[in-house]
């Protein structure tokens, strides 16, 4: 699917090295919209991906960083390159259910994720937030997750080193490593 994006008209971008990710790219979200990887019920035992991801290796789970109470993971269905989520390990749906320590570490990880994305990709801005409840657009409403979507002026560029022709799994693997390598320790 992404192969077709390499025909992006490059002449419309006046500066820098054009690459395949010079616009928001979302066709792969169709798999998500169609229900792939969605839990089958509200509980952690009902196939909740946010509960099962931490059991995987960082590479397999696309985990960028692990804290004591929360972790940062790449979104498999990104709205933009580098779309991260900060997720509590504990299976809770509502922000008010987080205890103080979880709330603090979720906030700290949000800051670190911003720093890492700026370092790795030169992000100009961010959309940050939580969709609370499926009515509000949460795809996996049973396990809260804070989205960080990096933005660039005109969303014109993202990590040019990843190149034009890699398929999404390789792109995500490279992105994960780049962010993990620059993840701040504080």
- Shortest distance, CB of residue 92 to Zn ion, whole angstroms? 8
- Residue 93 or 182: which CB sits closer to Zn ion? 93
Q: How far is the CB of 170 from Zn ion (least distance, A)?
A: 27
Which residues contribute to the site for Zn ion (CB under 5 A)? 44, 48, 50-51, 91, 143
Would you say 21 or 50 has its CB closer to Zn ion? 50
Query: Of 91, 143, 145, 147, which residue is the catalytic one?
Result: 145
147 is catalytic: no
Dist CA 172 CA 186 (whole Å): 24
Residues 123, 69: Cα–Cα separation, whole Å:
26
* Closest CB 51 distance from Zn ion, rounded Å: 3
Residues marked as catalytic: 145
């Amino acid at each position: 699917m992404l192969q077709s994006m390499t025909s992006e008209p490059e002449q419309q971008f006046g500066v820098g090295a054009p690459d395949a990710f010079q616009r928001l790219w979302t066709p792969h979200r169709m798999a998500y919209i169609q229900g792939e990887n969605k839990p089958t019920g509200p509980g952690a035992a009902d196939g909740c991906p946010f509960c099962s991801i931490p059991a995987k290796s960082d590479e397999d789970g696309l985990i960028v960083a692990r804290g004591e109470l929360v972790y940062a993971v790449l979104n498999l269905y990104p709205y933009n390159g580098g779309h991260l989520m900060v997720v509590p390990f504990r299976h809770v749906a509502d922000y008010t259910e987080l205890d103080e320590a979880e709330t603090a570490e979720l906030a700290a990880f949000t800051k670190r994720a911003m720093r890492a994305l700026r370092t790795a990709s030169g992000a100009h801005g961010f959309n940050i937030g939580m969709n609370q409840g499926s009515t509000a657009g949460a795809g996996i409403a049973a396990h809260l997750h804070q989205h960080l979507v990096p933005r660039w002026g005109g969303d014109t560029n993202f990590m040019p080193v990843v190149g034009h022709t890699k398929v999404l799994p390789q792109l995500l693997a490279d992105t994960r490593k780049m962010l993990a390598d620059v993840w701040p320790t504080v």
